[in-house]
């Protein structure tokens, strides 16, 4: 064996030992630190005189109204009613101005007659 090979082998072995020693030291310090933190938390006294906060819960579905069937009328009557009150322009004007139509106040819901008197 040559002297250079022996010197290189010794140097590699020392580097490996230092690395292993460094890893072991880091592990030991980490364990000690965690044990100290755990011990500090375990010795705390419980807090006394905590105030209780009353929480009021309201479900988002508490005001839910289920679907109710509406009376069905003939589509011919529904179309006649729309023509009598002024057609789609009257509905558009009602939405734009926010005022209910005077002629439409006593008429039934025109949307309920879209299926010719038969439920789909």
Under the banding of pLDDT at 50, 70 and 90, the label for residue 116 is: low
**DSSP one-letter string for 9-65:** HHHHHHHHHHHHHHHHHHHHHHHHHHHHHHHHHHTPPPP-SPPPPP-----TTTT--
* Predicted pLDDT at 96: 87
- Encode pLDDT of 81-108 as tens digits: 888 888 888 888 888 887 776 655 455 5
* Predicted pLDDT at 41: 67
* Predicted pLDDT at 31: 86
- For the entire predicted model, the pTM comes to 0.28
Distances (CA, A) of 41 to 26, 36, 71: 23, 9, 69
* Predicted pLDDT at 25: 93
- Encode pLDDT of 14-73 as tens digits: 888 888 889 999 899 998 888 877 776 665 677 777 788 889 999 999 999 888 888 888
- Where along the chain do its domains lie? 1-41, 75-110
Find, among 87, 88, 82, 84, the residue nearest to 113 by Cα: 82
């Amino acid at each position: 064996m040559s002297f250079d090979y022996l010197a290189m082998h010794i140097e590699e072995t020392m580097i490996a030992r230092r690395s292993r020693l460094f890893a072991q030291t880091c592990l030991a310090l980490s364990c000690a630190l965690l044990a100290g933190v755990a011990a500090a938390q375990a010795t705390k006294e419980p807090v006394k005189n905590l105030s209780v906060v009353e929480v009021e819960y309201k479900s988002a579905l508490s005001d839910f109204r289920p679907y109710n069937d509406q009376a069905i009328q003939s589509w011919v009557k529904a179309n006649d009613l729309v023509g009598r009150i002024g057609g789609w322009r009257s509905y558009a004007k009602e939405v734009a101005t926010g005022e209910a139509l005077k002629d439409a106040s006593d008429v039934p819901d025109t949307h309920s007659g879209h299926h010719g008197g038969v439920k789909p």
